[in-house]
Structure 1
Amino acid sequence: MSAGRPLNVVVAGGSSPSGIATARALREAGHKVFTVGSDGSRIKAAAAEAGDGVTPLVCDLASLAGVRALHAAISGTAGRVDGVIHLVGGWRGAKGITDQSDEDWDFLERGAITTLRNVTRVFYDDLAASETGRFAMVTSTAAGTPTAAGASYVAAKAAAEAWTLAVAEGFSQGSHSAAVIFVVKGLVDAGMRERSPGRSFPGFTDVEDLAAAAVGLFTAPAAELNGRRLLLTR
């Protein structure tokens, strides 16, 4: 915590199992959590599942104007934002290079890159001014071993990683803030295990472990975090 107040943390992509787990863990750590999704009913249900005190907000994070309005709404009631955990994304694949579709690329670019660019541009000054400013995104180990079938997906993840490292370089200029990249093979949650009881999900990261890593960002020194790729695979 800083300055005697709970830290204000935004969970972008809060309707997912990872978003719910992360919002819950941050709330339990004493932070004030704003969980954000594009569907009103889904994000309200996700906030309720995360627990009392998690505030649901509706925003199309691919809209810069929408993210600016989101920032104004949060800062107007809670003040400066100290952390943004970016969990927006999704998978699209193909058989090879020639059948990579424009529709899939548009989906991946919008979710993985545009949303991240928007939230970092809008919340950057808040995070840089915070004594404990933190930004985190989630990438895939697949980005380090690109395949033809996953070309669009890994290209979008690589672009998002590069942007995040640029944010980290900006934070290195005299602030107490850090931008990090969580690296996973894939994410697994209780619902997935229930639906596939015979599957072991080797190498996958439980959403609860991702949530714990997000909480840990706010107690680790920025100098030890900034610009790092933190491997969360087992």
Structure 2
Amino acid sequence: MPRLIPVDPLWPDEGQVAGPVGGPRVAGQTVLLAGATSVAGVAVAAALAEAGARVLAVGSNAERLERVRAVAPDTSVYTCNLADFAAVTALAATVHAEHGPIDGLVHLVGGWRGGGGLDGQTDEDWDFLHERVVQTLRHTTRAFNADLLASMAGRLAIVSSVSVTSPTPGGANYASAKAAAETWIRAVGHGFAKSGDSAAAVIFAVRALDGLERRLAAEVVALWDSPAPALNNTRRILAP
């Protein structure tokens, strides 16, 4: 029996199916990882490569990108400032020239700033979170949206936080940025649904990603095992 993933009850009418239920597999798919140099990014890259996907890893630091190559030697790596839309469009042009259109985009760019109650929610922290969490997502999805729509199995995934539905004063900046990212993903998913039944946008929500990297990697790989309509605009909670 396939394992069921808890679905946030605040998001109604969402499917819970995970695992092999038919449909396309990830082998042979071209998947771009944005923010690939984190522990989670390395784990996802390794799992995708082992499953037979073509992995394209994007980060801001060439030296750290070698962590990905260490676990997935055939990975193509790219340095890019994903907060700069011009740089992202140039990245898309390079990727298309070297690999053609992509079939998957996994957005792992993030970071935490918070604490100090509501008075501690500084403009500097907000700017940092908005740039990393929201702007990088906006830029990458806009640059590669046509690819995902054209793919026979387009998949888009982000990692969000359960704090979106239970924010605290000390995490208000962080939860607000994550909420904005989730709203953006829902909008992209709505566009996917209007355009057909081959592309899906998925939100993975965690309380803390530490210790869940391999679990996340397995869930990303499994996105290609389920049909897009069962996945699109679902919010899936990953808990220990």
TM-score (norm 2): 0.87
Aligned position for 2:38: 16
Q: Does 1:145 align with 2:151?
A: no
Q: Does 1:28 align with 2:50?
A: yes
Give the partner amino acid of 2:29. L
Aligned position for 1:156: 177
Take 2:93 and 2:28, find their aligned partners in 1: how far apart are those partners?
Answer: 19
Count of residue correspondences = 217
Superposed CA deviations along residues 63-113 of structure 1, whole A, max 9, x for unmatched, are: 101111111111101111000000000110021112211110011001100
Q: CA RMSD in A?
A: 1.7
Kept in 2, the 8 Å contact 1:14–1:87? The answer is yes
Take 2:130 and 2:71, find their aligned partners in 1: how far apart are those partners?
Answer: 28
Take 2:81 and 2:132, find their aligned partners in 1: how far apart are those partners?
Answer: 10
Q: Does 1:71 align with 2:92?
A: yes
Aligned position for 1:97: 118
Take 2:226 and 2:70, find their aligned partners in 1: how far apart are those partners?
Answer: 28
TM-score (norm 1): 0.89
Take 2:161 and 2:105, find their aligned partners in 1: how far apart are those partners?
Answer: 19
Give the partner amino acid of 1:84. L
Take 1:54 and 1:31, find their aligned partners in 2: how far apart are those partners?
Answer: 10
Give the partner amino acid of 2:158. M
Q: Deviation at 1:232?
A: 1.1
Aligned position for 1:233: 239
Aligned position for 1:51: 72
Kept in 1, the 8 Å contact 2:30–2:104? The answer is yes
Superposed CA deviations along residues 105-152 of structure 1, whole A, max 9, x for unmatched, are: 011001100000001101000001101000000011111101000000
2:226 is aligned, of 205, 220, 226, to: 220
Q: Deviation at 1:49?
A: 2.3
Superposed CA deviations along residues 20-51 of structure 1, whole A, max 9, x for unmatched, are: 000110111101000110011111x2222222
Kept in 2, the 8 Å contact 1:36–1:58? The answer is yes
Take 1:39 and 1:94, find their aligned partners in 2: how far apart are those partners?
Answer: 28
Give the partner amino acid of 2:106. I
Give the partner amino acid of 1:167. V
Distance 1:29 1:172, change over 3 A: same
Percent identity of equivalent pairs: 44
Give the partner amino acid of 1:35. A
1:116 is aligned, of 137, 140, 144, to: 137
The alignment partner of 1:188 has SS state of coil
1:106 is aligned, of 127, 130, 134, to: 127
Superposed CA deviations along residues 173-225 of structure 1, whole A, max 9, x for unmatched, are: 12410000001111124xxxxxxxxxxxxxxxx20000000000112100100
1:123-138 to 2 correspondence within 5 Å? 123-138=144-159
Gaps of 5+ in 1: 190-205
Take 1:175 and 1:127, find their aligned partners in 2: how far apart are those partners?
Answer: 11
Kept in 2, the 8 Å contact 1:14–1:46? The answer is no
Aligned position for 1:195: none
Take 1:125 and 1:24, find their aligned partners in 2: how far apart are those partners?
Answer: 26
Q: Does 1:207 align with 2:216?
A: no
Give the partner amino acid of 1:27. A
Aligned position for 1:179: 201
